[in-house]
Amino acid sequence: MILCPECHDMATKRILTEAKQRQFKNNPHNRKHGFSKGKLWVNEAAGTVLLSDTSLIGCGCFVSVGGKCLVRLDVGAEGNLELSTELRNKADDLLLKIERNEWTMGDPKLWDLASDYQYLKLRSKPNDILLEINAKSETLRVRAKLWSQGTQINCGHSSIVVRSGSVKDMTLRGNKLSGQRLAVSHDGRAAGIVPMNLHPDDPLFGLGAIGGDERRQE
């Protein structure tokens, strides 16, 4: 099978499997839609993702603050996992956005960046990891420091810690979320685990404008 230089590199590194090569040859979806570059490569089918040590099972929005979804999983056209997330600073300025495995917003020159087809690590300074996505193992693993509307959700090695004006160090360890999400109210006064199909106009944890996407997924 003849491969372009980029795909040949991926095949040599055992990232692009033979089954995927033959699938793309028969149905070159990514090439037709202009995604030959700029995407995080995830071979695994939709399944469990580890955010810190919390298992995210299935698809949908798994972390939200007010009407904003901060961590979302979808299934791509080839049946692979697609991750969407965004990074903001304490002032709520949008710094980086990843949408369905594609880096769509943010200047990579601003970061201490390490990346490959199946790995991405961003640091603001040594030992301060803002985002780490590791798709090299069987389970996609994600660490992140998420800010939104004055709330910080720190997804570290072994726990998820929520801090806001009224929520002090709410901690999740070893949880499983399936059909549920970690939600913080827009004012930071309440936090909890709520159903993904919660009504979008719920006064505390509704997803508002993106509720239409949730309804289609759920």
Cα gap 150→50, rounded to integer Å: 25
pLDDT in tens, 101-160: 887 876 666 666 777 777 888 887 777 788 999 888 778 899 999 999 999 999 998 999
Interval 137-154: pLDDT, tens:
778 899 999 999 999 999
In a domain, 180, yes or no: yes
Category of 137 on φ-ψ map: left (φ > 0), alpha (ψ -120 to 50) or beta: beta
Q: Are 30 and 77 part of one and the same domain?
A: no
Q: What is the DSSP string of 105-162?
A: ES-GGGSEEEEETTEEEEEEETTEEEEEEE-SSSSEEEEEEEEETTEEEEE-SS-EEE
My answer on whether 30 and 111 are in the same domain is: no
Number of domains composing the chain:
2
Per-residue confidence (pLDDT) for residue 191, from 0 to 100: 96
* Among 62, 44, 61, CA closest to 160: 62
- Which range marks the domain in which residue 173 is found? 48-217
Are 133 and 25 in the same domain?
Answer: no
Q: Are residues 9 and 85 in the same domain?
A: no
* Residue 16 sits in the same domain as residue 55: no
Q: How many residues does the chain have?
A: 218
